[in-house]
Chain A
Amino acid sequence: MYMGAMPRRVARLAAAATALATVALGAAACGSDGTGNGDGKVELTYVSYGGTGQDAMIKSWQEPYTALNPNITFINTSPPDPAQVKAQVENNAVTWDLVSTAPWLASQNCGTIYAKLNVQYDASQFPPNLHGECFIADFRYSLIFGYNAKKWPDPATAPKTIQDFFDVEKFPGKRGVVPALQDGILEWALIADGVDPEDVYPIDVPRALAKWDSIREHTTWAANVGALLQLVTSEQVDMQLMVQARYQAALDAGTPLEPVWDVTMTSINGMAIPLGAPNQAEAEKFMAFLLLPEQQAKMAELSGVAPSNLLSQPRLTENGEKINAFGPANTGRSVAVDPIWWGQNWNQISDEFNRWLNV
Chain B
Amino acid sequence: MMTSRPRWLPHPGWLLLIPAVALLGGILGVPLWQSFWRSIGSGDWTLEHYSALFTDGVTLKVLARTGQAAAVVTIVTLLLGYPYAYLMTRVGPLWRSVLVVMVLMPFWTSALARNFGWLILLYDNGLVQRFIALFGFDDVVLYGTAQGVTLAMSQVLLPFMVLPLFSALGGIDRRLLLAARSLGSPPLVAFWKVYFPLSRGGVVAGCILTFTLACGFYVTPALIGSPRESLIAQLLGQRTTQLLDFAGAGALGTLVLVVTLVLVWWANRMGGSMATIGAVAGQTGTRR
* Assembled-state Cα–Cα distance A280/B242 (Å): 24
Chain B residues with CB under 8 Å of A347's CB are 243, 245
Residue pair A7, B281 in contact (C-beta under 8 Å):
yes
9 tightest A-B CB contacts, nearest first:
A3-B284, A7-B285, A1-B288, A355-B58, A83-B240, A2-B97, A83-B241, A355-B57, A221-B227
Whether A18 touches B97, Cβ cut-off 8 Å, given contacts A82-B244, A230-B119, A358-B230, is: no
Residue pair B58, A221 in contact (C-beta under 8 Å):
no
Q: Which A positions have Cβ atoms within 8 angstroms of B?
A: 1-4, 6-7, 10, 18, 21, 81-83, 86, 105, 109, 113, 179, 220-223, 227, 230, 234, 236, 346-347, 350-351, 354-355, 357-359
Chain A residues with CB under 8 Å of B285's CB are 7
Chain B residues with CB under 8 Å of A6's CB are 104, 284
Chain B residues with CB under 8 Å of A18's CB are 19, 23
Whether A4 touches B288, Cβ cut-off 8 Å, given contacts A21-B23, A236-B143, A351-B58, is: yes
Residue pair A358, B23 in contact (C-beta under 8 Å):
no
Residue pair A7, B284 in contact (C-beta under 8 Å):
yes
A113 closest partner in B (C-beta):
B244
Binary interface profile of B, 119-151, with partner A (CB < 8 Å = 1, else 0)? 100011000000000000000000110000000
Residue pair A358, B58 in contact (C-beta under 8 Å):
yes
- Which residues of B, 238-266, contact A by the 8 Å Cβ criterion? 238, 240-246
* Assembled-state Cα–Cα distance A355/B61 (Å): 9
Residue pair A86, B284 in contact (C-beta under 8 Å):
no
- Which residues of B, 66-123, contact A by the 8 Å Cβ criterion? 93, 96-97, 100, 104, 119, 123
- Which residues of B, 202-238, contact A by the 8 Å Cβ criterion? 222-223, 225-230, 235, 238
10 pairs, CB–CB < 8 Å, chain A vs chain B: A3-B284, A82-B244, A83-B240, A86-B246, A221-B144, A221-B227, A230-B119, A350-B242, A354-B230, A355-B56
Q: How distant is B189 from chain A, measured CB to nearest CB, in Å?
A: 32
Q: Tell which of B23, B58, B100 touches A3, judged by Cβ atoms closer than 8 Å.
A: B100
* Assembled-state Cα–Cα distance A149/B121 (Å): 26
* Assembled-state Cα–Cα distance A4/B93 (Å): 12
Whether A220 touches B288, Cβ cut-off 8 Å, given contacts A2-B96, A83-B244, A355-B56, is: no
Q: How distant is B244 from chain A, measured CB to nearest CB, in Å?
A: 5
Chain B residues with CB under 8 Å of A220's CB are 144, 226
Residue pair B227, A179 in contact (C-beta under 8 Å):
yes
Chain A residues with CB under 8 Å of B56's CB are 351, 355
Chain A residues with CB under 8 Å of B62's CB are 358
Residue pair B244, A86 in contact (C-beta under 8 Å):
yes
Residue pair A223, B240 in contact (C-beta under 8 Å):
no
* Assembled-state Cα–Cα distance A179/B119 (Å): 19
Most chain A C-beta atoms within 10 Å of own C-beta, residue among B222, B230, B244: B244
B249 closest partner in A (C-beta):
A83
Q: Tell which of A10, A223, A230 touches B227, judged by Cβ atoms closer than 8 Å.
A: A223
B240 closest partner in A (C-beta):
A83
Q: How distant is A254 from chain B, measured CB to nearest CB, in Å?
A: 18
Most chain B C-beta atoms within 10 Å of own C-beta, residue among A3, A236, A350: A3
Q: Tell which of B96, B123, B228, B229 touches A234, judged by Cβ atoms closer than 8 Å.
A: B123
CB of B17 closer than 8 Å to a CB of A? no
CB of B16 closer than 8 Å to a CB of A? no
Residue pair B244, A2 in contact (C-beta under 8 Å):
no
A79 closest partner in B (C-beta):
B241
Q: How distant is A172 from chain B, measured CB to nearest CB, in Å?
A: 15
* Assembled-state Cα–Cα distance A355/B228 (Å): 9
Q: Tell which of A86, A109, A236, A357 touches B228, judged by Cβ atoms closer than 8 Å.
A: A357
Residue pair B228, A358 in contact (C-beta under 8 Å):
yes
* Assembled-state Cα–Cα distance A4/B287 (Å): 10
Residue pair A2, B228 in contact (C-beta under 8 Å):
no
Chain A residues with CB under 8 Å of B222's CB are 223
Chain A residues with CB under 8 Å of B240's CB are 83
Q: How distant is A349 from chain B, measured CB to nearest CB, in Å?
A: 11
CB of B15 closer than 8 Å to a CB of A? no
CB of B183 closer than 8 Å to a CB of A? no
Chain B residues with CB under 8 Å of A2's CB are 93, 96-97, 100, 288
CB of B27 closer than 8 Å to a CB of A? yes
Q: How distant is A124 from chain B, measured CB to nearest CB, in Å?
A: 34
Chain B residues with CB under 8 Å of A109's CB are 244
Chain B residues with CB under 8 Å of A221's CB are 144, 226-228
- Which residues of B, 5-19, contact A by the 8 Å Cβ criterion? 19
B143 closest partner in A (C-beta):
A236
Residue pair A223, B58 in contact (C-beta under 8 Å):
no
Most chain A C-beta atoms within 10 Å of own C-beta, residue among B104, B227, B230, B238: B227
Chain A residues with CB under 8 Å of B245's CB are 347
A17 closest partner in B (C-beta):
B23
* Assembled-state Cα–Cα distance A246/B25 (Å): 44
Whether A81 touches B241, Cβ cut-off 8 Å, given contacts A355-B58, A358-B61, is: yes
Chain B residues with CB under 8 Å of A3's CB are 100, 284, 288
Chain A residues with CB under 8 Å of B226's CB are 220-221, 223
Chain B residues with CB under 8 Å of A230's CB are 119
